[in-house]
Structure 1
Amino acid sequence: MPAIRIALPIPLRSLLARGAGSAMVSGFLLVAMLTVVGKIVAFAKDAVVAAKLGTADELDAFMLVFGFFSFAATVLAGGLPESFVPAYAELRERRGLRRAERLGVQCAAWHFAALLVCGIALAFAAPLVIAWTTQGFTPQKQALAVKLMRGLLPFLLCFGLAQHLSAWLRAGKSFLLAASAPMLVPFGIVTALLLAGDQVNAWTLVSGTVWGAVGHVTVLIIAITRRLPRSLRWWRCALQHWEPGLRVVLHNALPFLLGGVAFGSAVVIDQTMAAWLTAGSVAVLGYSDKLCAIVLAVTAGPASDVLFPHFAELVARRDWNGLRKRLFASAGLIVSAALPMTLILCLFAPWIVSTLFERGAFGPQDTQRVAEVLRFAAFQIPFYILGTVAARVAVSLQASRLMLLISFSALVLNITLNWLLMRHLGVAGIALSTVIVHCLCAFATCALCLVVIRRKETA
């Protein structure tokens, strides 16, 4: 019997032929496996939280505040770290590793200063922020949210700095610690929940989150410090002499920061608008997002971490054809892997939610609410992955202003669709809005990348 041959696109066939022996594919597999372990720890935490608090008001307030801080830290991580990685790759390619490491030290100092200023501002503005974003909360629930926001300020500093240090490690293609250290945060929460016993409340989650974030950033600081020169002269030079590449990083950071505010604010906007609906809606949306995050964590997350330094190197070498091929091959492989998991989430939503969360305070009615939202939210996964991979190419190409336009358009579209769809579908309408926004942004970002690459080829 003749062998059956399947014709694959050349870039995809080439990538598969290299297999796990290539640095990119082996790096992806490593990060994906570590992310799975991290998600197991995170879901152990979520299961305990669901059993103890269900969709109670305390959890509603905590998830809203935690989502806001995660957004703030991620936005700040989308400024300097995003612009840092391409500059780091180019400086290492042209001036050597020591100059690139000096740039890393100076960028880390600037990033921590930005986080500190942001944290102080949020501490003073907490009552105003909570009053504006939680119009559906009772006064008691709003007062609790203000206290939780101030209690989570150390998390903002630690988690935000950890994002930059992780980007620095990944820029040097060191993926092991950057992928494994984040699981210290859910591990810290699980530990706090176990120590609290039956006395679990929102402050248990705050203490576990803060101590987990402290452990996370401490491990990364130790890892970064060990790879840097131990010479006092080098450190004095790194802290006193302005690295010219820092000007480029700071110049490009603002557009990425603004773009992160626009695009990354989707979670905060969704939670804020969910707070206008029936009680528990924020928690329901949060549980649905956590389930979608399983697939995204083993696809979009590792792909973004591993591919970014490779994209940056291709741009530094001006290999435009190789960059285009890698974009197509990577996006095709990852989206193909994510589609079956998306369908599983959609078809088996009630069973998945019931198995993972239905115990204690989380009852059958909560399962039904979360499953209804999850069936809509699951369809964002392939578009989110495609958009993430394309965005990494755009960042490597320093196409910050065009990405900024796409991000602000997504912000306006997200708010508009939320408002229209939630009136008829409730929380599920917010999930459907997210799907539509990710779909349009993914195709717009891919088109942007191809246009910029074509322009650079003909320049």
Structure 2
Amino acid sequence: MSLVRKFASVGSAVMASRVFGFVREALIAAALGVGAVTDAFYAAFMFPNMFRRIFAEGAFNTAFVPLFAKELEGGGQAAARRFAEDVLAVLMTALLALSAVAILLMPFLVDTVIAPGFSDTPEKFDLTVAMTRIMFPYLFCMSLVAMLSGVLNSMRRFFLAAIVPVLLNVVLIAILAAAIVADLEPRATGFWLAWGVFASGFAQLFFLVRGVRAEGLNVSVRLPRLTPGVKRLLVLMGPAVLTGGIMQINLMVGRIIASAQDGAFGILNFADRINQLPLGVIGAAVGVVLLPELSRALKGGDAADVQHLQNRSLEFALALTLPAAIGLIMMPDLIVNLLYERGAFTALDTAMTAAALAAFAAGLPAYVLIKVFQPSFFAREDMKTPMWFAIATVVVNIAASLILFPTYGHVAIAVASSIAAWLNFALLAGTLWRRNHFRPSPATLRRVALIVFASVAMGAAVWWLRGQVAGSLLGATLVVRLAGVAGVILAGAVVYFAIAVGTGAIDRGELAGLVRRRRASTARVADSE
């Protein structure tokens, strides 16, 4: 399977999760609006998510995947299984201890770390403490899910690990639909959502355990031992934990600053949810596929394949991310209005969310390019360089947030985040260039230039079309808004792909192969029915 097809496989699974995520956010906006319960839920959910990103998707996976992939490449499944079992034992022990301590100290953590601004509103503070305690075991489940996902990805089985997160959104959508039908009051709805997060973690873990066993790798639980492999993992995790921790502290500081503005937690999350669609789909696809592929190529000493992987990843990421970012910047109000403005979500909420969305979107290409360049360091077991770059970007992010917040409010958090992302990208790319670990090929540089040209042309077309239809759409019915926004997006896509494919910015052979593969898949489904 080609690299782009692997990206498409993961991307399609992540896309399904993101679409369900949009439905979830739209229902939360309709059921809860922007208020105390919404702020409490998002603040509570952010805390276990923060640790999940540090220990699971962040530090753990960046250290575990290269080591596991190299065990698999060098010693086969037997050696890889032994390594996985040793890691699983230590990981479970650490997670149980962390969860117990965090649940006991939750009031202190909410007051000092999660949302100090909530202490002035006792009801919101108590809600956040209670919801965080309910949701914190989600960290335990998702950390194990991340490990098992790393196992499957290293075995080049990408789809299952990418699709299981949709279970979180399916569970929460079911709860929200029931709450809206039953006219449940917001506080009760918030608690049901918290229990839904708890349940979804165990559901995802169940399916990943079955998936790994189906691949013939029956990982069992044993007593923890600090074997040489585990010690090497912990050594590599040290800088990666610091890197992930710094980045999450970065996000948390932004949220702490934002907690001084009523409703800012909800607004930033609603905006970020839209921004996360292209970021999650493209960034996740690149990050999930590229790290194990690079690790195996380096282990095999295939320098040509290493360069090919990085060139194609760069082209793929920019070809989809840059036009998406420009589109979000050109028409954020129309998109937010369509997705969220109903029920308790007002026109003022739309305007505030749209401003944050445009600011987040400005950093979207940088976030995805970071996913392209970081694996080159991790696959070489260099965790320290990204750590130092993370420290630099955090300093810039926090400084920009503090400077801009008094003037721009919640939008300052998004602007600072984008500035920091571009700095991180520049540092990573510059270092790879200086070390001669990656130099874009002439063909890649040509395609990137053409992608930029096609994206700018698309942006001009979308801006003009938005000016023609915006006045008639903002107050229209849902069907009219949907048709209008879809029409503008479709027209922009036609302009972009016409130029990109016509000039060779996007490889026609790869595109035709993906279309043929999708048609074949559709035909197989039709035959099975």
Report the CA distance between 1:285 and its aligned residue: 0.7
Contact 1:67 1:267 in 2 (8 A): no
Q: 1:227 aligns with which of 185, 196, 215?
A: 215
Report the CA distance between 1:454 and its aligned residue: 4.9
Alignment of 1:160-199 (within 5 A): 160-196=143-179, 197-199=182-184
Q: 1:269 aligns with which of 253, 258, 265?
A: 253
For residue 211 of structure 1, what is the aligned residue in structure 2? 199
Report the CA distance between 1:321 and its aligned residue: 4.5
Cα separation, 1, equivalents of 2:357 and 2:224: 52
| Alignment-mate amino acid for residue 204 of structure 1 | W
**Paired positions, count:** 429
Cα separation, 1, equivalents of 2:392 and 2:289: 28
For residue 60 of structure 2, what is the aligned residue in structure 1? 80
Contact 2:267 2:349 in 1 (8 A): yes
Look up the SS of the partner of 1:173 in the other structure: coil
For residue 135 of structure 1, what is the aligned residue in structure 2? 116
Are positions 1:249 and 2:229 aligned together? no
For residue 102 of structure 1, what is the aligned residue in structure 2? 82
Cα separation, 2, equivalents of 1:213 and 1:229: 22
In structure 2, the gaps of 5 or more residues are 439-529
Cα separation, 2, equivalents of 1:262 and 1:247: 23
Are positions 1:379 and 2:362 aligned together? yes
Report the CA distance between 1:102 and its aligned residue: 1.6
**Farther off after superposition, 344-353 or 156-165:** 156-165
Contact 1:76 1:115 in 2 (8 A): no
| Alignment-mate amino acid for residue 136 of structure 1 | G
For residue 49 of structure 2, what is the aligned residue in structure 1? 70
Structure with more contact order per residue of length (Cα contacts < 8 Å, sep ≥ 6): 1
Are positions 1:292 and 2:275 aligned together? yes
For residue 457 of structure 2, what is the aligned residue in structure 1? none
Contact 2:36 2:124 in 1 (8 A): yes
Look up the SS of the partner of 2:116 in the other structure: coil
| Alignment-mate amino acid for residue 209 of structure 2 | I
Contact 2:168 2:197 in 1 (8 A): yes
Cα separation, 1, equivalents of 2:19 and 2:341: 17
**Farther off after superposition, 433-442 or 444-453:** 444-453
For residues 392-434 of structure 1, the C-alpha deviation after alignment (integer angstroms, 9 at most, x for no partner) is 1111111111121111222222211110111211111111101
Report the CA distance between 1:239 and its aligned residue: 6.3
Look up the SS of the partner of 1:299 in the other structure: helix
In structure 1, the gaps of 5 or more residues are 1-20
For residue 45 of structure 1, what is the aligned residue in structure 2? 24
Report the CA distance between 1:217 and its aligned residue: 1.0
Contact 2:89 2:223 in 1 (8 A): no
**Farther off after superposition, 258-267 or 417-426:** 258-267
> CA 1:218–1:235 in structure 2 vs 1: closer, same or farther (change >3 Å)?
closer
Report the CA distance between 1:80 and its aligned residue: 2.7
Report the CA distance between 1:229 and its aligned residue: 5.4
| Alignment-mate amino acid for residue 150 of structure 1 | R
Are positions 1:437 and 2:420 aligned together? yes
RMSD in angstroms over aligned alpha carbons? 2.0
Cα separation, 2, equivalents of 1:417 and 1:108: 40
For residue 6 of structure 1, what is the aligned residue in structure 2? none
Q: 1:283 aligns with which of 241, 266, 269?
A: 266
Report the CA distance between 1:213 and its aligned residue: 1.5
Are positions 1:307 and 2:314 aligned together? no
Cα separation, 1, equivalents of 2:7 and 2:220: 33
For residue 131 of structure 2, what is the aligned residue in structure 1? 148
For residues 115-155 of structure 1, the C-alpha deviation after alignment (integer angstroms, 9 at most, x for no partner) is 22221121122111111242322122111111111111221
Cα separation, 2, equivalents of 1:415 and 1:63: 21
Are positions 1:407 and 2:374 aligned together? no
Report the CA distance between 1:243 and its aligned residue: 5.3
Contact 1:111 1:164 in 2 (8 A): no
Contact 1:126 1:150 in 2 (8 A): yes
TM-score, normalised relative to structure 2: 0.77
Cα separation, 2, equivalents of 1:241 and 1:214: 25
Cα separation, 2, equivalents of 1:28 and 1:229: 24
For residues 184-211 of structure 1, the C-alpha deviation after alignment (integer angstroms, 9 at most, x for no partner) is 0111111222233321521021011111
Contact 1:274 1:427 in 2 (8 A): yes
Cα separation, 2, equivalents of 1:27 and 1:229: 22
Cα separation, 2, equivalents of 1:132 and 1:389: 35
Contact 2:69 2:296 in 1 (8 A): yes
| Alignment-mate amino acid for residue 220 of structure 1 | L
Are positions 1:54 and 2:38 aligned together? no
> CA 1:41–1:396 in structure 2 vs 1: closer, same or farther (change >3 Å)?
same
| Alignment-mate amino acid for residue 128 of structure 1 | F
| Alignment-mate amino acid for residue 123 of structure 1 | I
Look up the SS of the partner of 2:230 in the other structure: helix
Report the CA distance between 1:91 and its aligned residue: 1.6
Report the CA distance between 1:267 and its aligned residue: 2.6
| Alignment-mate amino acid for residue 119 of structure 1 | S
Contact 1:75 1:257 in 2 (8 A): yes
Cα separation, 2, equivalents of 1:274 and 1:211: 29
% identity of equivalent residues: 24
> CA 1:327–1:454 in structure 2 vs 1: closer, same or farther (change >3 Å)?
closer
Cα separation, 2, equivalents of 1:415 and 1:241: 40
> CA 1:446–1:264 in structure 2 vs 1: closer, same or farther (change >3 Å)?
farther
TM-score, normalised relative to structure 1: 0.89
Look up the SS of the partner of 1:276 in the other structure: coil
Contact 1:91 1:245 in 2 (8 A): no
Contact 2:86 2:225 in 1 (8 A): no
Report the CA distance between 1:39 and its aligned residue: 1.3
For residue 334 of structure 1, what is the aligned residue in structure 2? 317
Cα separation, 1, equivalents of 2:258 and 2:279: 22
For residue 36 of structure 1, what is the aligned residue in structure 2? 15
> CA 1:451–1:324 in structure 2 vs 1: closer, same or farther (change >3 Å)?
farther
Report the CA distance between 1:61 and its aligned residue: 1.0
For residues 20-62 of structure 1, the C-alpha deviation after alignment (integer angstroms, 9 at most, x for no partner) is x51x221111111111111111111111111000111111011
Q: 1:426 aligns with which of 409, 418, 421?
A: 409
Cα separation, 2, equivalents of 1:422 and 1:60: 19
Are positions 1:345 and 2:311 aligned together? no
Contact 1:32 1:298 in 2 (8 A): yes
> CA 1:373–1:243 in structure 2 vs 1: closer, same or farther (change >3 Å)?
same
Cα separation, 1, equivalents of 2:175 and 2:52: 23
